[in-house]
Amino acid sequence: MAQVTQLIHDYLRHNKKFPHVYCAGCGHGIVLGSLIRSVHRLGYAKDDVVLVAGIGCSGRMAVYVDFNTVHTTHGRALTFATGIKMANPALKVIVVMGDGDAMSIGGNHLIHAARRNIGLTALVLNNNIYGMTGGQASPTSPEGTVSATSPFGQLERSFDIVDMAMASGASYVARGTVLHANMLDGLISDALEKPGFNLVEILTPCHTQYGRKNKFKTVVDMYQWYKKNTVKLDRYAQLTPEEKPKFTPIGVFRDEMRQGLEVRYEELRNKLQEQRNA
Amino acid sequence: MATKKRKKTEIFALGNEAVVEGALLAGCNFYAGYPITPSTEIAEVMSARLPLVKDGVFIQMEDEIASMGAIIGASLAGRKSMTATSGPGFSLMQENLGYACMTEVPLVVVNVMRGGPSTGLPTSPAQGDVQQARWGCHGDHPIIVLSASDVQECLEMTVVAFNFAEKYRTPVILLLDEITAHTREKISIPGPEDFEILARVTPAMPPEWYVSYEETMRGVPALPPLGSGYRFHVTGLTHDQNGFPTSKPDEVKALMHRQFRKIDQFFYDIQLFDEVNCEDAEVVVLAYGCVARSAELAVHMARERGVKAGLLKLKTLFPFPKTAVQALARQCKALIVPEMNMGQISREVKRVNNGLTHVITNNRVDGQIITPSEIFKNIMQA
């Protein structure tokens, strides 16, 4: 335990901004821990990692961690990251977004980043709610969700982030939860090493804004919900069609190893410049 | 033959093409954009030219919001980056333009003005985005807005725009209009010895000493490229000298005041204008963009009739060249301000004129250029 704690401290900024903004029971800290363990395991230098974040609770992660950090505008993190990656493909660019960030205001940027397969790792922290602004319904709030802007229950269907990323052409797509922390370490490490656009959806509880209004008495109930209602992809495949809707599959949904746009652009540039010089 | 070796320095180009020439001369190596009339040629030519530039990148983004995001990201990664657009796209860019102002990211945005508001007159000229260029994004912010009135100036002012962006660590808006952008004429491309190319200040101190938004006399903090060993935080939140979010009044005030000061104290460096026949002028026409060309002809026509007319052509629109305007306002009996909007620069002129002389507005918003004869008539009546 002491070692784990030391590792976290090696990667956090000490000169500013603690204590953090996260509520008791929030899963965002587990994601940050998982990200730090993954970066450490893969041996990336802090100087080579750029953490780009959007707006919301997840966006605050950029302040805490000692990488090159860019806290952008709401929903636009992927566009900044695209510019950074195209400008300097040697950098490891990690994009942290919330569900409202990635799927609502930034939905267009997400599908196009996936389509052009730009070499970024997108972590979408899905807590099914707009936490920071006070618990309004988000595009991933399940039907029936009671929230500050759906006091009588959400009527709209929710987005499936994994389906969206796959349909848009991302080359690596996975889903994990903060309850399955070891698995999450594996998924993030895996994603970071893949070329092209890779996305990991991370289910993380927001008891303060979501759980309390939706029949989760304590935050532990939310973690237990993850335990009971998520299944690994191989087991999910064996479920009957009647059982499937009750469960959320977790694991790696797509792993295609396709070259990122930044690499393909570099190849094109080299080819054109060789032709000119010939 | 000696002539074969001579580098071609004269070309026949569109205003939009001249912008590309200027940008590449200034060292632009990153362009992100979205197609929109009448600015599209800039993106088209960039897409063909940039892959031939060392480390050059062209990327077509999904919209103008994304284009701004991408060029901010690229600029933070050390690139000289730009985008080009027109009215509707410029409106979409305001969000991230504000971010660039707050985080002090050098970049150039070319806005080829067309008739507005909304979709407006996509293929007709206008000058309706002048105040939007100054105040388009929310919150108090300083910004530099330039304009060009002919194809040669498109090239030159693009170079100036990059230099100002890098020197003062600020977004710079270059306002063109459909006529200037789509005029094709002969221009000469200057050699590298003909002008100065400025680069941003990068930190010279070791990373542990680096303070990313340090309060200095010059007011322009050093900006290292991402990944160069200087790890720092960039945020659109109001931040302290270390770049971390703050809401402490003394820190907020210091940031806002420094950002304004860094532009204000270099006003005389930024204020660019041309004077034609102004030495003894009794009637001065103040114009910018394509209207300045009509105005120049009108001034010559008036001189032929013995009227002492002069032209003050603004190349810098903001910070507003108040000393240039005031100097002439003190000497002339009338200032005529023709512009293709309902009076966006004339309100600045009236503000700095403050009763010194008679300000005559000449506005046109029907998608047609203000003709020399229209301005001439105003000069003769003044």
In total, the C-beta contacts within 8 angstroms joining chain A to chain B are 142
Nearest by CB to B69, from A16, A68, A83: name it.
A83
Chain B's closest residue to A111, CA to CA, is B62
Task: Kindly determine whether residue A82 and residue B66, on different chains, have CB atoms separated by under 8 Å.
Answer: yes
Task: Kindly determine whether residue A79 and residue B68, on different chains, have CB atoms separated by under 8 Å.
Answer: yes
pLDDT of A249-258, one tens digit each?
Answer: 999 999 999 9
pLDDT of A90-143, one tens digit each?
Answer: 999 999 999 999 999 999 999 999 999 999 999 999 999 999 999 999 999 999
Task: Kindly determine whether residue A80 and residue B70, on different chains, have CB atoms separated by under 8 Å.
Answer: yes
What pLDDT sits at residue B313? 98
What pLDDT sits at residue B8? 60
Cα–Cα separations (whole angstroms), residue A217 to A96, A144, A211, A213, B47? 28, 17, 7, 9, 57
Nearest chain A Cα distance for residue B27, angstroms: 14
Task: Kindly determine whether residue B74 and residue A87, on different chains, have CB atoms separated by under 8 Å.
Answer: yes
Domains in chain A and their CATH numbers? 2-277 (3.40.50.970)
Cα–Cα separations (whole angstroms), residue A200 to A60, A61, A79? 18, 16, 18
pLDDT of A146-203, one tens digit each?
Answer: 999 999 999 999 999 999 999 999 999 999 999 999 999 999 999 999 999 999 999 9
Q: Which residue has the higher pLDDT, A16 or A127?
A: A127
**Residues of chain A contacting B74 with CB distance shorter than 8 Å:** 83-84, 86-87
Contacts 24+ apart (CB under 8 A), A182-188: A183/A250, A184/A30, A184/A31, A184/A34, A185/A34, A185/A37, A185/A38, A185/A41, A187/A252, A188/A34, A188/A35, A188/A38, A188/A121, A188/A123
Is A85:A91 a contact under the CB 8 Å cutoff? yes
What pLDDT sits at residue A14? 81
User: C-alpha angle A88/A110/A153, rounded to 5°?
Assistant: 150
Nearest by CB to B244, from A46, A63, A67: name it.
A63
Count CB-CB contacts under 10 A for residue B200: 19
**Residues of chain A contacting B70 with CB distance shorter than 8 Å:** 79-80, 82-83, 86
Distance CA A134, CA A147 (A): 9
Task: Quote the mean pLDDT of chain A.
Answer: 95
Class of domain B274-381: alpha beta
Is A88 touching B (CB cutoff 8 A)? yes
Chain A's closest residue to B241, CA to CA, is A16
Torsion of CA A165, A170, A172, A175, to 10 degrees: -10
Distance CA B336, CA B302 (A): 13
Bridge partners for B314 per DSSP: B273
Task: Kindly determine whether residue B52 and residue A272, on different chains, have CB atoms separated by under 8 Å.
Answer: yes
Is A156:A104 a contact under the CB 8 Å cutoff? no
- Give average pLDDT by consecutive 10-residue segment, chain B, 382 residues: 58 97 97 98 98 97 98 98 98 98 98 96 97 97 98 98 98 98 96 90 96 95 97 97 96 98 97 98 98 98 98 98 98 98 98 97 97 98 92
**Residues of chain A contacting B56 with CB distance shorter than 8 Å:** 269
Element (H, E) at A3: helix A2-11
Q: Which of residues 5-64 of A touch B (CB under 8 A)?
A: 13, 15-17, 46-48, 50, 52, 62-63
Q: Hey, which bits of A145-192 come out as E strands?
A: 172-177
Q: Where are the domains of chain B?
A: 8-194, 274-381
Q: Which amino acid is at A154?
A: Q
Interface with B, mutate which of A39, A52, A72, A92 (most B CBs under 10 A): A72
Fold of the domain built from segment(s) B8-194: Rossmann fold (3.40.50)
Chain B's closest residue to A110, CA to CA, is B62
Nearest by CB to A71, from B56, B225, B233: name it.
B233
> In this model, does residue A7 exceed pLDDT 90?
no
Task: Kindly determine whether residue A88 and residue B245, on different chains, have CB atoms separated by under 8 Å.
Answer: no
What pLDDT sits at residue B191? 86
Nearest by CB to B76, from A67, A70, A273: name it.
A70
**Residues of chain B contacting A269 with CB distance shorter than 8 Å:** 51-52, 55-56
Q: What is the ipTM of this complex?
A: 0.97
Please, which residues have CB within 8 angstroms of residue A64's CB and are 6 or more apart in sequence? A12, A13, A17, A18, A20, A32
Burial class of residue A49 (count of CB atoms within 10 Å of its CB; 0-12, 13-18, 19+): buried
- Asked whether this chain's domains B8-194 and B274-381 adopt the same fold, the reply is yes
